[in-house]
Structure 1
Amino acid sequence: MTAYMDHKNLANEVIDGVRAVQIADGVHRVLDRIASAEQHAGRDAGSVRLLAATKTRDVGEIMAAIDAGVRMIGENRPQEVTAKAEGLMARCAERGFALGVAGVSGIASASGDSEVAGERIPFHLIGQLQSNKIGKVLPVVNAIESVDSLDLAEKISRRAVARGVTVGVLLEVNESGETSKSGCNPAYAIRIAQKIGTLDGLELQGLMTIGAHVSDETAIRRGFEHLRRTRDRILASGEPGTQSCRELSMGMTGDMELAIAEGSTIVRVGTAIFGERAFI
């Protein structure tokens, strides 16, 4: 168990009104930033989706974000997925939402309910996934954005096939080349993506990257632009299993406008919604 989970009850469902307003205000500001960036880039309104990055946030905080308009969430750690899934699915169902894979093709939700109707809120894993944790996330998440190797994809494929499910995956690419970041070498991304597209139990949905941690906006945009061009080449290849590789998950609190200008379809935002984390 991650150390901070000893100090914060992530299953907590009750927050005070002040905190709920803080989160709602954060969501609205981010949605306004996205809309403004779409307009500035000449893109269609609604072409970029907001994923709320919910690392260290409890069920009550996440539900406040959903109540304010968030329609996609992402967790960094499988342990947090497990800790929050039951409460989140139950509270979402009360609001008429189906979270993650709840109710998909008879799959039982974390609360045991296999009949969940309503608007679906995708639930993604956006942090690193060890092979021994695959089984923890498959019953909950729609997509795993942090697939950074063919080896990991093959392991997820085997587990998905054994469960009789199909899970979305995004290939994570280390566009910045920073050793502190995960992701495959950009030079190999197209070939890896094409091979992932052939695996049973997986749907290759797109590519993901983390922007360069530098102040040079040109360098940050260069990485985002390269990911877009890589995505376009994968689609143009026409290889089996690549036809759904359309998502570009790139851009966070500090660089989402740059990412949107370069074609992002999903921005992953935590701090601008929830504030600074008390735990790392």
Structure 2
Amino acid sequence: MSESQSTSLKELTQRLSTLLAQIEAAQRRGPHAAERVQLLAVSKTQPISRIKALIGAGHLLFGENYVQEAEEKIHALTLVDSLPRAQFHLIGNLQRNKVKRAVGLFDVIESVDRVELAQEIAKVAERRGRRQRVMMQVNTSAEDSKSGVDPQSAEQLCKDILALPALQLEGLMCIGQFIEPEADDALRRQDFIVLRELRGALQERCGVQLPELSMGMSADFELAVEEGATIVRVGSALLGERPAKD
């Protein structure tokens, strides 16, 4: 291993250790914190070498935004016998024409936000004799630029997904609104509180357990953990800055 590769692995290991310590500290602070919180490494546009290094350091949960990019990376990883199998979540928008490629490729599809998409995923999964794990994406901030079902329509979508035997609904996901880090914490927590309280309401009204809350990113994951996140999505703070596009 070259000196640069060794340094890169050392940096990744240090970042991973720091982030896990921050998560544990947030769990101790937050009255709503979950007992188990997973760190999802957002690896979109990151080189495969960094993903391999992070897997080598013991981290096995990744998130990708694009089906084709994920296909290439996951295939490359399967060719390395020495690496344990990592799990990949789809955290970006899924177009219906990409569903056939996404089902089975991703361990969890987090971005299900409409019944038509859920039905298409279920149709493909059923044909293949699979049960696809999914999460429901909620637009907690009511921003037009954000994907996700609005909270008022979430109950119906939850029931629609539960009616599809080929899907396993695991929880809720949101992408919170961007708020400056120096803003009041109460404002920065709003989306996380909305998602946590919605989860409680859906569990009661739909008669289902939804163990996962995927919320919080690099700038606000500690607040998300305090408010009950079970999955936090961190990109460059763990894997480093993404390479510039040509």
Q: Same fold (TM over 0.5)?
A: yes
Query: TM-score, normalized by length of structure 1?
Result: 0.80
Q: 2:131–2:168: 8 Å Cα contact kept in structure 1? A: yes
Structure 1 residue 259 and structure 2 residue 224: aligned? yes
Structure 1: state its 5+ residue gaps.
Answer: 1-14, 100-121
Q: 1:41–1:260: 8 Å Cα contact kept in structure 2? A: yes
**Larger RCO: 1 or 2 (CA < 8 Å, sep 6+):** 2
Q: 1:212–1:219: 8 Å Cα contact kept in structure 2? A: no
Q: 1:94 aligns with which of 82, 100, 107?
A: 82
Structure 1 residue 229 and structure 2 residue 218: aligned? no
Q: 2:14 aligns with which of 21, 25, 33?
A: 25
Secondary structure at 1:179's aligned position in 2? coil
Mapping 1:128-143, distance limit 5 Å: 128-143=93-108
Query: TM-score, normalized by length of structure 2?
Result: 0.90
Q: CA deviation at 1:136?
A: 1.5
Structure 1 residue 278 and structure 2 residue 243: aligned? yes
Structure 1 residue 53 and structure 2 residue 42: aligned? yes
Residues of 2 paired with 1:225 and 1:279: CA distance? 35
How many residue pairs are counted as aligned between the two chains?
239
Secondary structure at 1:50's aligned position in 2? strand
Q: Which residue of 2 aligns with 1:268?
A: 233
CA offsets per residue over residues 108-163 of structure 1, 9 Å max, x none?
A: xxxxxxxxxxxxxx311111111111121223211100111111111111111111
Q: 2:216–2:223: 8 Å Cα contact kept in structure 1? A: yes
Q: CA deviation at 1:72?
A: 1.1
Q: 1:77–1:127: 8 Å Cα contact kept in structure 2? A: yes
Instruction: Select between 143-152 and 216-225 the one with higher mean Cα deviation.
Output: 216-225
Residues of 1 paired with 2:79 and 2:172: CA distance? 31
Residues of 1 paired with 2:34 and 2:14: CA distance? 20
CA offsets per residue over residues 12-59 of structure 1, 9 Å max, x none?
A: xxx822222222222111111111111111577851111111001122
Residues of 2 paired with 1:67 and 1:44: CA distance? 29
Q: 2:73 aligns with which of 71, 81, 84?
A: 84
Mapping 1:159-238, distance limit 5 Å: 159-215=124-180, 216=183, 217-238=185-206
Q: 1:56–1:279: 8 Å Cα contact kept in structure 2? A: no
CA offsets per residue over residues 94-115 of structure 1, 9 Å max, x none?
A: 24x333xxxxxxxxxxxxxxxx
Q: 2:108–2:133: 8 Å Cα contact kept in structure 1? A: yes
Mapping 1:102-141, distance limit 5 Å: 122-141=87-106
Letter in 2 for 1:98: R
Residues of 1 paired with 2:33 and 2:147: CA distance? 31
Structure 2: state its 5+ residue gaps.
Answer: none
User: How large is the Cα RMSD of the aligned pairs?
Assistant: 1.9
